[in-house]
Structure 1
């Protein structure tokens, strides 16, 4: 095997290079936590709990959320150590470049692009459905032809609301990290207030009998539920994409990653308990379980507010997923693996404006034409591949003498990184054969692009 395929980056060179194309340091710990909460809380709290409780976990969905959170927290600690040691944009892609070499880093980056792009498109599709439902309540109807994926049999041709929200969030991203995180802060505050409103009001209408049987599908149902609600935590890794734009990353990156995971897990468990207490899990297989449950409790006005909160909540997910994707494209372009246009920084806004709009165009195409189930099939695979590489990569990072002794360190080393790696592999094995085949095709395309362009233009050639 050609050794140039596994050429690795020197940490000092990585930290000191590219001074002419670096991003501005504007983010503190609070902004990072809000970035994580903005990415995580969306589809996972407003849609997933109903389906998973009805078909897999029952009221024991709270255990599914906790198991998925533990897997994410273990991987999150590994991410935190990498982000603290190597505060450079690119997330798992950059970390893999240091410990595994170029071709592995490229494949991890390629998997992450799949995660960020398809997750943003899937959430945009869900956002469109919630918006149509909310507008229908005011007797405003979007024409059927323009409100769904391309499906002439159903008389739908393009999902214009989904395209609109992708374009809007991409425009916000071009204005700069400070401006987009300010918008994210406002939106996160609104959706957390809405979630707390549901919990506080809903708890008075809980019927404990609805929690019986608590684990109707057994432990296997809880575990399969965990593999599904894992989707609800996607996005916390996008926080590590912000490493280069963080003030004091050694301290603030771990706070942002672990803090956002903890807050979201508490909210997920609380919502799931109230939700399954309000309505029997057998009746929760609906597209809007949270607002549906509170409607059954006779609180119509709360249901309307929740629908509005869902729309706001999904906007922040799209924003952070697009943010992670554009920063990854920036890192790939800066390393020469993608064309130079990907690394160009706007002189006024100090953001990669061109790659933001290229990424937005691709996401819009998926969101406007493809159904949501097709979009979500591959997202978990891309994420878990990145998680496995980051988890096992810590073992090599600790051996690297170039890394400073300060910063966050994963506790109980090497136990936690190894357990994280094994759990991620376990969840990958739960995914369907069709997902494996589709992912294989995606990686073949990535390898063709790498050998056709990236390997020849890589800065490592110099």
Structure 2
């Protein structure tokens, strides 16, 4: 067999199911929605609606959120079908290895691990900034050297590291304990958002909605470039429901539960984002919302300053749930690499007592803590989008292959409107990749090259498929 043929050798689903049989299936639909909403509704809801309203769409930012949700729903259905047909750990990595071949699956997993690691670190850094602002409100001042890494003139971003370690302690207690904390925190976050939406609706001025789509944003075909620009930025607020697929090996009745968890996450997140943006732009004129804390700013504008502390707490809870869900997902993906031999096999071991991939969890946390504590992520943050969109593209197109494979037939959820829906979603993913900044694409290309080098230097020789 040539090295090219070997690289594109495909794994069987049965092999994955057997390898994951030591993991405990305890997650329900509610748990998956908790993980999904915990990831998707993070810092974005407290920042993006204001920025995009001020810079691209005005009050029509709610329409942009709706369009982004529809696209996310299309890709979400593709993940739901794959996870129903292949209830195994690893998300796009495992799916890609089965339908495309090992090297494609590895590169998809290599892309997603970058997304997860950077996302955890970036959100932890944001958590540190919000927590510091809250402490200042109460007269507590932390030395600047403990709020930034060496590249920003400090020693270490202490709060960013501590929140990751706290999440690790929670996850190490097992699935039952961590899912209860995640679900409780998500409920608290949704309640705070609901309070803003319901309470803020009494302060809406209808004149702030006129014009709904301001003329200064009219450009391009049909004058809709402003809405499309806002949509392109907002789409990334919905990236995160794909992490649900990483837990398919720990889900009860995955043929039904996975689809309900993913689609439920998209619907709930879309509803919260759209209603939040409608109320926000109704309280304050869109021109004033180009700030990093638009919700708190809007509350101050209507003289409800005391509630802005509650919003800050909501943001902190939102970031906590996102970090927990992403550390969870990154450890499962790292476990999948070790399970298959593409990374050292010790990472693929399951602890006999907790039934958790402890070694994979430790490695993920070490890397994420180093990034969060020492490295500023402004330049690297957009790499999160590149890796995720690449996975979206291959998974959507992969539905076309999945349906043709007689050995992969299944009775679970199936994407409606086949083959048009997955084809359109795949093309949209490709178009969005081309809209990313050139420097982002260059850095992402370097990451992919490093992945290819690792695969041929180590992975292909140690892989279970060899």
TM-score, scaled to structure 2: 0.95
* Counterpart Cα distance in 1 of 2:161 and 2:269: 27
- What is the CA deviation profile of residues 377-423 of structure 1, one whole-angstrom value per residue up to 9, with x for unaligned ones? 11110100000010000111111112243111111110111011011
Match of 2:95 in 1: 95
Match of 2:231 in 1: 226
What is the CA distance between 1:235 and its match in structure 2? 1.1
Match of 2:39 in 1: 39
Does residue 1:6 correspond to 2:4, yes or no?
no
Match of 1:304 in 2: 309
* Counterpart Cα distance in 2 of 1:211 and 1:85: 46
Match of 2:384 in 1: 379
The RMSD of aligned alpha carbons is 1.3
What is the CA distance between 1:345 and its match in structure 2? 1.6
What is the CA distance between 1:17 and its match in structure 2? 4.2
Does residue 1:15 correspond to 2:20, yes or no?
no
What is the CA distance between 1:363 and its match in structure 2? 1.0
What is the CA distance between 1:449 and its match in structure 2? 1.2
* Counterpart Cα distance in 2 of 1:284 and 1:372: 24
Contact 2:403–2:409 (CA under 8 A) maintained in structure 1 = no
Contact 1:122–1:372 (CA under 8 A) maintained in structure 2 = yes
Give the alignment partner of residue 342 of structure 2, picking from 330, 337, 352: 337
Does residue 1:187 correspond to 2:189, yes or no?
no
Give the alignment partner of residue 322 of structure 2, picking from 317, 326, 350: 317
Contact 2:119–2:326 (CA under 8 A) maintained in structure 1 = yes
1:235-246 paired onto structure 2 within 5 Å: 235-246=240-251
* Counterpart Cα distance in 2 of 1:208 and 1:201: 16
Report the secondary structure of 2:436's partner residue.
Answer: coil
Report the secondary structure of 2:407's partner residue.
Answer: coil
Contact 1:107–1:443 (CA under 8 A) maintained in structure 2 = yes
Does residue 1:178 correspond to 2:176, yes or no?
yes
* Counterpart Cα distance in 2 of 1:300 and 1:179: 36
Contact 2:107–2:451 (CA under 8 A) maintained in structure 1 = yes
Match of 1:120 in 2: 120
Does residue 1:434 correspond to 2:442, yes or no?
no
* Counterpart Cα distance in 1 of 2:159 and 2:379: 18
Contact 1:174–1:352 (CA under 8 A) maintained in structure 2 = no
Contact 1:128–1:161 (CA under 8 A) maintained in structure 2 = yes
* Counterpart Cα distance in 2 of 1:373 and 1:63: 28
- What is the CA deviation profile of residues 164-223 of structure 1, one whole-angstrom value per residue up to 9, with x for unaligned ones? 111111221222222111110110011000000101111111122222332231321211
Match of 2:66 in 1: 66
Match of 1:209 in 2: 207
* Counterpart Cα distance in 1 of 2:18 and 2:149: 46
- Number of residue equivalences: 457
Match of 1:160 in 2: 158
Give the alignment partner of residue 375 of structure 2, picking from 361, 370, 373: 370
* Counterpart Cα distance in 2 of 1:18 and 1:112: 20
Contact 2:20–2:89 (CA under 8 A) maintained in structure 1 = no
Contact 2:19–2:339 (CA under 8 A) maintained in structure 1 = no
* Counterpart Cα distance in 1 of 2:209 and 2:380: 32
Contact 1:126–1:372 (CA under 8 A) maintained in structure 2 = no
* Counterpart Cα distance in 2 of 1:57 and 1:438: 30
TM-score, scaled to structure 1: 0.96
* Counterpart Cα distance in 2 of 1:354 and 1:12: 24
Any unmatched runs of 5+ in structure 1? none
Contact 1:230–1:380 (CA under 8 A) maintained in structure 2 = no
- What is the CA deviation profile of residues 322-354 of structure 1, one whole-angstrom value per residue up to 9, with x for unaligned ones? 111110111111011000121122222111112
1:400-415 paired onto structure 2 within 5 Å: 400-415=405-420
